[in-house]
Amino acid sequence: MTDARVVDGRFELLERLGGGGTGTVWRARDLVLHRDVALKEVRPQGADEDTEGFRALRARVLREARGLARVDHPNVFTIHHIVDGGPDTYPWLVMELITGGSLQDRLDRGRMTPGGAAGLGRELLAALVAAHGIEHHDVKPANVLLRSDGRAVLTGFGFAALQDSTRLTATGSIISSPDYMSPERAHGESSGPPADLWSLGMLLYVAVEGRHPLRRDSTPATLAAVLHEDVPRPRHAGALTDVLMSLLVHDPEARLDARTLDRELGGVSRELVEGAPVPGDGEVADAVPTSFRITAPEPGPRPRNPPPGPLGLLKHPYRGSHRPSRRGRAAGPCRYAWRRHPARRVATMRPASARS
- Catalytic residue ranges: 138
d(C-alpha 102, C-alpha 8), whole Å? 28
Q: What are phi and psi of 142, to 5 degrees?
A: -70, -20
Contact 268, 113 (CB under 8 A): no
The string of DSSP letters for 121-186 reads HHHHHHHHHHTTT---S---GGGEEE-TTS-EEE--TT-HHHHH-GGG-TT---SS-GGG--HHHH
Running DSSP on this structure, what letter comes out for residue 349? E
d(C-alpha 211, C-alpha 196), whole Å? 20
- The helix/strand count (H/E) of the chain reads as 9, 12
Running DSSP on this structure, what letter comes out for residue 299? P
Residue 66: its H or E element: helix 54-69
Amino acid at position 185, single letter: R
Q: What are phi and psi of 345, to 5 degrees?
A: -90, 135
Residue 85 neighbours by CB distance under 10 Å? 13
| E strands present in 208-286 | none
Contact 152, 123 (CB under 8 A): yes
Closest by CA to 62, choosing from 33, 47, 80, 42, is 42
Cα 69 from chain centroid? 17
